[in-house]
Amino acid sequence: MRLGMKVLLTILVVVFVLIGIRTVKQKIDSANHKVKVDIEFLYNCYSIGYLESDLSMDGELTELRVSRDKKKIAYSVDYKKEDDSIQTVFGVIDIQRKSNVGTIDDVKFMTDYATYQSEDLECEQKLQIYVKDHFKSHPGVLGGIVRYKIASWVYSPNKKRIAFIVNGDDGHKSFYPNLFVAEYTGDNITRIDSSSELFCEDIIWLSSNEIVYSKDSVLWKAVLKK
């Protein structure tokens, strides 16, 4: 009888150990999961200024908006004129054709195209820990210390993912922005793009797995795949 009880207890211990190992393995696999990303070139927004408005090529893309049918992207570019005043030009591109549709005025930009405000960043603590672990402070070029932080972020339409930009700043200039996506919980963080050039702070989600973003005033589309 005692021997039978010992055998039964031994079997139960082995079963619980195997379950524990399997659970730990699943957590590790989940933690190591990375999203695959395809990057597509969409459009160079520089041309909207110097070709159509006789402005210089040195423009800064400042805002992205999307049409309600998600087929067009509207963008604004600020150009500095000879008298140091700023002129803003608004352009529209067809996403599928990757071509210029034309210019619009500020009223149509605001009324015909939408932008989405982010809600409170619920997973901020996890993302801040990631930034702290992966982006170390360092001396700036013009003095000061470069410290990295989350500069911009937005949830996907279904609220299951978040896109965010990490950017360094020393009080004089910005350093090495990186675009990431993560689950809404702050897990499975994946770098989408990085550069020594400054990103536009606006990120537009076209769907739960498609992002449009800018790099050096060039629009790119990122398609996320599991």
- Stated pTM of the model: 0.76
Considering only CA atoms, which of 177, 185, 171, 172 is closest in space to residue 149? Answer: 177
- The neighbour count for residue 189, using CB atoms within 10 Å, is 19
pLDDT tens per residue, range 29-59: 334 456 888 999 999 887 676 555 656 656 7
**Span between the terminal Cα atoms of the chain, in Å:** 53
Do the beta carbons of residue 131 and residue 149 sit within 8 Å?
A: yes
Is residue 15 within a helix (H) or strand (E), and if so which, with residue range? helix 2-32
More confident residue, 26 or 161: 161
Boundaries of every domain in the chain: 43-114, 119-225
Pick the most confident of 16-25, 62-71, 217-226.
62-71
CA angle, residues 17, 22, 23, in degrees to nearest 5? 95
The model's confidence at residue 23, banded by pLDDT at 50, 70 and 90, is very low
| pLDDT tier, 144 (very low <50, low <70, confident <90, very high otherwise) | confident
> Which percentage of the chain shows pLDDT scores above 70?
77
> Average pLDDT over the chain, rounded to whole?
79
- C-alpha–C-alpha distance, residues 47 and 59, integer Å: 9
* pLDDT per position as a tens digit, 146-188: 899 998 899 999 999 999 999 888 877 777 788 999 999 999 9
- Residues paired with residue 91 on neighbouring β-strands, in sequence order: 75, 103
User: Residue 13 — very low, low, confident or very high, per pLDDT cuts 50/70/90?
Assistant: very low
Report the percent of the chain where pLDDT is more than 90: 40
